[in-house]
Structure formats: structure tokens, C-alpha cells
Structure 1
Amino acid sequence: MSAKAWLSKKLPSGKIMCEACAHACKLDEGEYGICGVRKVENGELKLLVYGKAAAMNVDPVEKKPMYHFLPGSQVFSFGTVGCNLSCSFCQNFEISQFPQEHEHKIFGKDLPPKLAVDLALQYGCKAIAYTYNEPIVWFEYTYDTAKLAKEAGLKNIYVTSGYETHKALDKLADVIDGMNIDLKAFIDEFYKELCGARLKPVLEAIKYAYKKGFWIEITTLFIPGKNDSEEEMRQIANFIASIDTAIPWHVSGFYPTYKMLDTNPTPPDTLLKAYKIGKDEGLKFVYVGNFNAPEFTATYCPACGYKVIERAGYLGEKVVNHLQDGRCPKCHTFIPGVWK
């Protein structure tokens, strides 16, 4: 079904400007946004995927990845088709790029906001994650669901590429508790050539989201020969540390997919180098993803070094949380995060 995409405004020229993401598409009647799921119909911007979930699942919160957010809990995860980025290495391209590659067709199962909340509660989840594709392109659907979820005592997580406008983040601050934001690279050319986007809006969104009080975790997927130089790793780590050294940084490995099948997987040594650089730049919490090494997925108290959260398994499915009201049981230092 379609619904009014109310995060938009009419311009003096008669075009409708979408205010959800940094592309700020300005559209005439019948035109689609870059995302493929926002379209002007009868003088209004419509969201074409409202209530239509292309993917849904119950996941460990660690899979998002969120390591300082209700550890060991399950989250109800869902997404739609469409995306405002066109990453050549997208792992979910079958849904994210579907409208763009199929003449603006969409698909999905009916999942109105109330049903999403009801299912999350039925499955014993502590939160709902808006994920699999970029949630800002289905902003109104996420907002309505998150509002109901919050009323039902659930928390809400955005898994995003960080292309939200300040106006969108202002609205989301009322209902979204945590965000995992991709910082895909620190070079604008990478974003332009491989993602159809720009770096600056992402950096601005991260800083603004932190200022608005969202719990933030950052993920970087390192691709051989594209964004894995030591200099770029250090730039990313330094940027995160300049905001807050307590922001967790997840470094993860690329596997050949979509339009980058001829690129080699990321060697484990690359991830370990990023881990060390993150620590060297002052980050208190750096985690290695896509790599079964419990010592690099555990959370350690930055004050005394005690292992406060243990994680085992490829995606950290086995979690033992030793925190006591968010504090280290040994030295009582508070570990930043969302613990209840």
C-alpha cells in the first residue's frame, strides 16, 4: 500500500522535495526519488512500501551489530525494498535495489505497524530493528511502527547508512533509541563511485545523531584495495574518537557479492590492523566482525580490563553479560550503553 510521505514539502516551483535523506530529491508529478519507493502522485509525495515488509526475522541484537544495547536479547528485524544508496558491495541487493532494477516494481508481505509490534512481543523480543535496507527511505513506516513499539515498552534500533537529514533525526529522536551507522569510508570518491552518495552528509548525520542523544555504534566494512589503507583506518578511528571515545566501532570483512564478485575477501589481518589502530587512536570499544575470535568480540572494562561481556559464535550468539546495572563488577566503572 502507499501512504503520504509526510517528511516532504512543496516548493514554489511546484516540485515536491523529499526531506528524509541528504539527496533531497526534488520531484515533479509521476517522478520517483533515488530510493525507488517515494513518488509524487496527485501532488503529494507517497511512500509506496508502507506496510510492506520484504524481509523479516528474529535476530540476536549482536547481529545488527549492536554490542552495547540490551546484550543477549532478541530483536524483531524487518525491512522493505528500496535504498537511497547504490552500493556495489551491497549484501542485500535483492531487496535494496529491487525497484531500481525492476522498473519501480515493489514486493513485500503485509506488515502494518501494529502487527510488527504484536509479533515482536509474541516472540519475546526486547526491541524492533529497522534494517536489511536503508530505513530512512521508508521513514514514515518506521516512525509509526516505532511510536507504537515505544508505547508497548519496546526499544527501537535504526540500522542505517547515515544519510538522514537533521529534520528526520529530530523526528526520530522521539522514538528511536539506538543506531548502528555505517561509515563506509573516509574518502568522498569511494562514496561517489561505489555508493552513489557523498561522505560529508554521513559525517554530519553521525555528529548530529550523537548530539541528539541516540545510542550510536559505527560499522566499517573494509574492502581490499578500496578503503583499507592504514591512513584511512586512522582517519575513521580519529573521527569517531573526536566525537566520543566510548562509541563502539565494529570493523568487518567484505565477501564478494553483487557487482564486486571479482574482489577478494578481506584478510583477517586487515581487521586486526583496524582493531589495533582503533585502540591506538583512543577508542575504548573496538570489535572485529565476520571473524570468530571471542577475544575481539568481548567487551572489556576500559578502567580495569575486566571482561564484562563475553561473546562467542560467528555473530556473537552466545552472550554472557557480567555487568551489574551497567557497571563493571570488579571496579564499578560505568560502561556506556543501553542496558535495560
Structure 2
Amino acid sequence: MDKDWGDAIRPARYWHRQGADHAVCDLCPRHCRLGPGQRGLCFVRANIEGVMVLTGAGRSSGFCVDPIEKKPLAHFLPGTPVLSFGGAGCNLTCAGCQNWRLSRARSMDRLGGTTSPRAIADLALGLGCRSVAFTYNDPVIACEEVIDVALACRDRGLRTVAVTAGYIDPAPARDFFAVMDAANVDLKAFREDGYRKLTSAHLGPVLETLRFLAGEAAVWLEITTLLIPGRNDGDEELADLVAFVAADLGREVPLHFTAFHPDHRLSALPATPAATLLRAREIARAAGLAHVYLGNLPAGALGGAEDGETTLCVGCGAPLIGRRGYAITGWALDDSGHCLGCGRALAGVIEGPPGTWGPRRLPVPGVASG
């Protein structure tokens, strides 16, 4: 293609032409059909002169060094710093989105200047990070760009993390997750009607992504479900959700139940009480799930500083990783991730002793291009 699209626009890969000038996106199950000048629901994929392009390429909504536990990932390089960044737009329209100013952004003015994949990898290394996370908005909508950045990171020995809702078609999913080392998939609900009302999308494709990640992809998988009062927190729905995780994904896949706080179009709802998260954990444990974490609650809300975040050994039940918030307070694993008591391996990616980053959050003011 010989068109000069400019620094922040690049040809998209996942689409096909329909008629003389329409483009149909093949990235996610929405399959947006776009006439000239139109953008998809995600906002970043557009039809320009009959060609599907990715807008905002190389531009970010911001960079920050976070603890890996904030993604949340409990079994992936614990205690280490991760360089987090994202863009604008999303292919879901979550009613309670806490990043809605980015996910529903309709202006590229929210993004910074153009940054190259190599510059991002160099930044992460310079800041002492072990990995780079694609987060804040859903990275799948910028699949082509994310793949380039992930490859640059891998070339420099950095791990890569996708924080996503997993709403992506199978073919691009294989390309996208082939360059990821870990993923936290946000499973919004476990009823088709409820999922559609919360997100304007469908549950089935997300379950297929989860099955692919657990069964075929070389990606460490953890799952997060935000429990929203009256929307997705019923006992029967939770029982079905954890039964799916146990049967289709595996009993040692970590599941994070997190508390909702009123925001966006659900600002009139109450915050999730701690009792709801405790009930969800009991349902999950009764289904045989080994690693169930509770998050997004004030310190002490569960009646104990570490009640919701301690990692236990599947073999002997001993505490393996103690946590208070994002800080590691205890460690009973050898350097290859085996329990010091019974020798059982902890499922996950454990490499040597834990990191010492702790709960710090370090915003990064700017990134040089090049």
C-alpha cells in the first residue's frame, strides 16, 4: 500500500472489502461495516478511502509503573514492576466502566505524541520493569500496534501482559495472544442477557477466548469478575461461572472477585459490600477452585488484612504468598515456585525470589519517540 497515512494512522490487517467502498472489520464479533469516513464502535478502527485503518497508532493515554498485582495478576512474577500503558476507545460499552473517559473517548486529543515500539521497550527496561502491560482501555482494538510493541519487548527480554475483556474473533486472537506471556480476562457476567445489558456485547465469544487461552495458548491466564450489586452477583449465576472455570479452564486458574464502585452510567448503584465477595469466594471454593482472590476493597474490610489475597498451597494448604494490598508480606516458595513445605508446584510464572516493588505507583510523564 503506497498511501501516506501519517504517523498515527496505519493500515489495519483484520478486515475485508464489501462492495466498492465499504470495509467490514474482522477483528471482533461486532464486524462493523463501515462506509468511507466512518469509524467502528471502538472508535480507533476506521474506513479511510475504502481502506480499513487503525487510528491513533503509536499514541498512548499515558504510562505508569505499577505492581504486577494491580493488573491483577497474583501468580505472574509476583512483586515485580510492570510498565502499564494504553490508548483510547473500546469495543465494549460497559455501563460501570471506571475508565470510561478513555474507553468511550471520541477524540484523539486524549492521547500523547507518537512513540515507537522500541522506545516503549527501552523505557520499560530503563525503569527496571520485568514486563509491559497493555491496559487502561482494551488492547485488542489496536491489535496490529500491540503486536508490534509486544515483539519489541520480547526482543529485549521483557514479558508482555494483556488486560482485556477477550472480545475478539478467533483468527486475530491467535495472533494477538501469540505475543503475550500473561492475560487477565475480565469476565463481566455469566448470563447472556446480563452480559449484553452491561456491555452491549455477547458472552459466547468471551468464553471461547477463555477456552482458547486455557487450552491452547502459551499464556498464563487469570480472570477477574467485577461483582455489581443486582446485575451479576446472584448465587446461581456465580455458581455457573465458577463451574465453567473449574470444568473448562482448570481448577488452578486464579479467579479475582472485585468490588464495584459507582461510576459512569451505574453511578446510582451502591458499592459492592464485602459480604458479597466473601459469599462469591465460598461458592468458588465449593466448586473446587484453588485460587480465589478478593479485591478493590478498603483495607480491613474483610476482617483481616490478608484474608482476600493470600495464596495457599494446593498440596498442603500452607500460605505461600502473603499479601497486604499490593505488597508481599510472606513468601514460602523456592526459586522455581515449589512449596517449601510439601514441594507442590504453584501454578503460574515464578522465577526466583519475589520482587520488591511493593504498592508503589510511578507515573511516567513522557516518552521520547524514535
TM-score between the two structures when normalised by the length of structure 2: 0.87
1:296 alignment partner AA: G
Q: Distance in 2 between matches of 1:174 and 1:38?
A: 22
Kept in 1, the 8 Å contact 2:140–2:176? The answer is: no
SS in 2 for 1:294: coil
2:218 and 2:157 map into 1 onto residues whose CA distance is 19
Q: Is 1:165 aligned to 2:176, yes or no?
A: no
1:105 is displaced (CA, Å) by 4.5
Decide whether aligned partners of structure 1 residues 12 and 328 sit closer, same or farther in structure 2, where only a CA change above 3 A counts: farther
* 1:85 aligned partner: 92
AA matched with 1:108: L
* Pairing partner for 1:302 from 300, 304, 314: 314
Q: Is 1:321 the counterpart of 2:331 in the alignment?
A: yes
1:88-107 map, 5 Å: 88-99=95-106, 104-107=107-110
**What is the alpha-carbon distance in structure 1 between the residues aligned to residue 253 and residue 154 of structure 2?**
24
Q: Which of 168-177 and 131-140 deviates more?
A: 168-177
Residue 332 (str. 1) matches residue 343 (str. 2): yes
Shift of 1:13: 6.6
SS in 1 for 2:209: helix
CA distance in 2, matches of 1:142, 1:105: 17
Alignment partners' CA distance in 1, 2:340 and 2:184: 27
Tell which deviates more after alignment, 131-140 or 3-12.
Answer: 3-12
Measured after TM superposition, the shift of residue 322 of structure 1 is 2.6
The match for 2:51 among 44, 53, 64 is 44
Counterpart of 1:224, as a letter, is P
Q: For 1:6, which of 6, 9, 13 is the aligned residue?
A: 13
Q: Distance in 2 between matches of 1:209 and 1:261?
A: 33
Amino acid at match of 1:193: K
CA distance 1:328–1:258, change in 2 (3 Å): same
Cα distance in 1 for residues equivalent to 2:75 and 2:275 = 25
1:46 Cα deviation from its structure 2 partner: 1.0
Q: Aligned equivalents of 1:147 and 1:70: distance in 2?
A: 19
Instruction: Give the conservation status (yes or no) of the 8 Å contact 1:18–1:45.
Output: yes
The separation in 1 between residues aligned to 2:119 and 2:135, in whole angstroms, is: 17
Q: Is the 8 A contact 1:55 1:78 kept in 2?
A: yes
AA partner of residue 298 (structure 1): T
Distance 1:68 1:113 in 2: 27
Does the Cα contact within 8 Å between 1:72 and 1:320 map onto a contact in 2? no
Residue matched to 1:222 = 227
Give the alignment of 1:1-340 within 5 angstroms.
1-11=8-18, 15-99=22-106, 104-110=107-113, 111-210=115-214, 211-242=216-247, 243-291=249-297, 292=299, 293-313=305-325, 316-324=326-334, 325-340=336-351
- 2: CA distance, partners of 1:80 / 1:286: 30
Distance 2:26 2:269 in 1: 35
Contact 1:32 1:39 in 2 (8 A): yes
C-alpha contact 2:32 2:40 (8 A) present in aligned 1 = yes
Percent of aligned positions with the same letter in both sequences? 36
1:12 Cα deviation from its structure 2 partner = 5.8
Stretches of structure 2 lacking an aligned partner (at least 5 in a row): 1-7, 300-304, 352-370
Range with greater deviation from structure 2 (168-177 or 319-328)? 319-328
Task: Give the stretch that moved more between structures: 49-58 or 286-295.
Answer: 286-295
Output the CA distance in 2 between the equivalents of 1:151 and 1:322: 32
Q: Please state how far the C-alpha of 1:26 moved relative to its aligned partner.
A: 2.2
Q: For residue 318 of structure 1, what is the amino acid of its counterpart? A: I
Number of residue pairs the alignment of both structures matches:
334
Deviation, structure 1 residue 295: 2.4
- Per the TM alignment, residue 318 of structure 1 is displaced from its structure 2 partner at its CA by 3.3
CA–CA distance in structure 2, aligned partners of residues 225 and 107 of structure 1: 33
Q: 8 Å contact 1:81–1:106 — kept in the other structure?
A: no
**Paired residue secondary structure (1:138):** helix
Higher mean displacement: 104-113 or 267-276:
104-113
After superposing on structure 2, the runs of 4+ consecutive aligned residues of structure 1 that deviate more than 6 Å are none
